[in-house]
Structure 1
Amino acid sequence: MTAEVLSNGSQATDPVSGAPPELVKSVATETEPDTAMVEPKKEQEEKQQQVEEKPRESTTLGSIMEKNSSFREESNFLTDLTESEKKALFELRSLVETNLLKPKEGEEGGEVKDMSLWGVPLLPSKCPESNNVILLKFLRAREFKAKDAYKMLEKTLQWRKESKIDSILEESSLGKDLGSTFYMSSIDKEGRPVCYNLLGAFRDEEMYQKAFGSEEKKQEFLRWRIQLMEMGIKKLEFGPGKPSSFVQVIDLKEAPGLSKKEIRIAMKEAVELLQDNYPEFVAKTIFINAPFWYYAFGALISPFLTQRTRSKFVFARPSRVTETLLKYIPVENIPVSYGGLKREGDSEIYGESTGVQEQVLKANSTESVEIPLPQAGTTLLWDLTVLGWEVNYKEEFVPSDEGSYTILIQKERKLCYDEKTVRNSFKNTEPGKVVLTIDNPTYKKKKALYRYKIKHC
């Protein structure tokens, strides 16, 4: 017996750089002509079938980069450096001490200058491990050419002095109307802060004019972006094995098109500023919801990006946003707007231990998640997201007493990729269990991630 009742739950609905088009072009599969010519016809047909069955995204340059370990963030432990890299580090140290910190002839005091960058002393002897991390950032940005890295460091220090960057955090008026477009939220699986960039906010003409309506506003916008970068750096730790970079998530959903030249110019300048003065501060840049025109825009600023920067790009179609983010960010740290389980204030509900569980959904099968409620008068709260979506979903309360009625909490409906994360709650008046039923009618195996909390009244 089933009685439908009204559910008291709810369901949630959510530094800038461009992507060069070559990163999304398919890469042709290379074959060896000599072996291909002598292979039996059956074997050739089987190989061809295997190639055709591979998902299209697995043959893109971006996916090849993702699987190549050489594109992972490098270690800051001295023992992990090659001999040539160590030599470059020691050379840069020497250049910093003799050319930058050593007093020039005729200067007063005659003592070594006490300079620091992002709170880290540039004199190696004062804080050697943190100093190594900073110097290695500049070295990696210049392919371990010590003299080039020193010139970059020198220019960065000069730019910071001229632009008064060390006091930028005190400028409280910057970006007061733009706070919803860029924000920091939680950490990734490596403990690195994650910065979300919502470019779709500039589709609103009023917001667009506030940011790019004049040269003065554009410069204020750029300064605000630098301020956000400095705020984020405060969350980092400069030491071997510690998070010393960010993960950038750039949401291009409803972003202004190519006709908006002001934002193109501003983003190009932002890319140059961040790349020239904040080397190796981005571990990954994940582009999500990219529209078709974006790749043309990427071609415009591609010349201003290093190959090292481009190698860190990851792309996700709208239907694969959650799956892509999950490769780098725990599901409990991904906002519900992107199919994760993170909502404001959830730490008060779930605490530090989130207890996220998973349920495999086989192709063309129906699976159930059962949450026991052995006591009457308790309230159950749960969150659920499905990787790949396109499933049918319903919620029921099944009493332990066979003579009682099953209560339909949520009637069956289809969950699509734009539905986002499910949240609901139920208060039981008798012992039983809540059953979440997920029907996967597709030919692909999927996965459901969920967590719950039982509150005893």
Structure 2
Amino acid sequence: MGEVAESIRGDESEEQRKLALFRARVDKEDPDAKEHDDLMLRRFLRARDLNIEKSTAMFLKYLKWRREFVPRGFISESEIPNEIRKEKVFVQGFDKKGRPLAVIMVGKHTSDDRDLEETKRLAVYAMDKLCARTGAQQEKFALIGDFQGWGYASSDIRAYLAVLEILQDYYPERLGKVFMVHVPYLFWTAWKIVYPFIDDNTKKKITFVENKHIRETLLEDIDEHHLPDVYGGKQPLLPIDRDASVKK
């Protein structure tokens, strides 16, 4: 046990050392880096296995993207009116690990009536809201992807890849777990296209839930009082734009 503890302390010490070097590097490269705390820098560092060169490139890319895509610092409801109207994303309390939980009604998304840039803005809007509900003790969020009603019109590969890129490149170490429910057979064709673009770390966090075991499977990670009522829990679905727990 003593050797294990010593090893853990050594790993933490090495991470702290590299975090300090990473901080000095990005602060010098981009003044905006100073606005972000060490928790955020640590997530980018961990996402690149503590490689300072790769972490620096990733973080500088993030800062540039954020300035261009979210110039005001946040996405407002007025920038995503069509996506808000469709009520695709809901916030549902927390799972048993304290991770903020959201439900995404993927089956409500169709390619024929979407604007790709607005879809991307919705993704940022939702992830920013979830991240704002995390803290130093729990930095990750959990998702339920519901494919009820998913059909050919929902097979929007461009949108899926765009959202996946945002999640993996600009919100590293934020995703804790994804439950995929009501997945139709038709979906697997799209899944085969998207799957190669999912990084190995993210793949490990995805769980496909059998239709006949949805409630019992979700209850393993989510308390009944936080489980959405549509899956047999006691929490009514709350559209994310009506969530008043986080103020801008």
**Please, what TM-score do these two structures have when normalized by structure 1?**
0.46
The alignment partner of 2:138 has SS state of coil
Which structure has greater helix proportion? 2
- CA distance in 1 between counterparts of 2:237 and 2:120 reads 28
- CA distance in 1 between counterparts of 2:19 and 2:33 reads 20
User: 1:166/1:279 Cα in 2 relative to 1: closer, same or farther (>3 Å)?
Assistant: farther
State whether structure 2 residue 73 is matched by structure 1 residue 170. no
Partner of 1:94: 24
State whether structure 2 residue 139 is matched by structure 1 residue 244. yes
- CA distance in 2 between counterparts of 1:324 and 1:79 reads 35
Aligned match for 1:158, one of 54, 64, 67: 64
CA contact (8 A) 2:80 2:122 kept: yes
Letter in 2 for 1:184: V
The alignment partner of 1:191 has SS state of coil
| Gaps in structure 1 of 5+ consecutive residues | 1-77, 102-112, 117-121, 123-130, 212-216, 346-457
Query: Deviating runs (4+, > 6 A) in structure 1?
Result: none
State whether structure 2 residue 92 is matched by structure 1 residue 180. no
Aligned match for 2:101, one of 194, 199, 216: 194
- CA distance in 2 between counterparts of 1:160 and 1:264 reads 24
Partner of 1:220: 118
Partner of 1:234: 132
User: 1:80/1:301 Cα in 2 relative to 1: closer, same or farther (>3 Å)?
Assistant: farther
Q: What percent identity do the matched residue pairs reach? A: 23
Letter in 2 for 1:90: A
The alignment partner of 2:90 has SS state of strand
User: 1:341/1:268 Cα in 2 relative to 1: closer, same or farther (>3 Å)?
Assistant: same
Residue by residue over 1:182-220, the C-alpha shift from the partner in whole angstroms, topping out at 9 and shown as x without a partner, is 111111112211010111223xxxx65432xxxxx2221
Q: For 1:7-406, list aligned pairs within 5 A.
A: 81-101=11-31, 115-116=34-35, 122=36, 131-176=37-82, 177-202=84-109, 209-211=112-114, 217-237=115-135, 239=136, 242-257=137-152, 263-343=156-236
Q: Larger radius of gyration, structure 1 or 2?
A: 1
User: 1:344/1:248 Cα in 2 relative to 1: closer, same or farther (>3 Å)?
Assistant: closer
Letter in 1 for 2:94: I
User: 1:175/1:282 Cα in 2 relative to 1: closer, same or farther (>3 Å)?
Assistant: farther
Partner of 1:362: none
- CA distance in 2 between counterparts of 1:337 and 1:287 reads 14
Letter in 2 for 1:342: Q
The alignment partner of 1:195 has SS state of strand
CA contact (8 A) 1:92 1:146 kept: yes
User: 1:344/1:285 Cα in 2 relative to 1: closer, same or farther (>3 Å)?
Assistant: closer
User: 1:80/1:233 Cα in 2 relative to 1: closer, same or farther (>3 Å)?
Assistant: farther
User: 1:247/1:300 Cα in 2 relative to 1: closer, same or farther (>3 Å)?
Assistant: same
Which structure has greater strand proportion? 1
Partner of 1:410: none
The alignment partner of 1:340 has SS state of coil
The alignment partner of 2:222 has SS state of coil
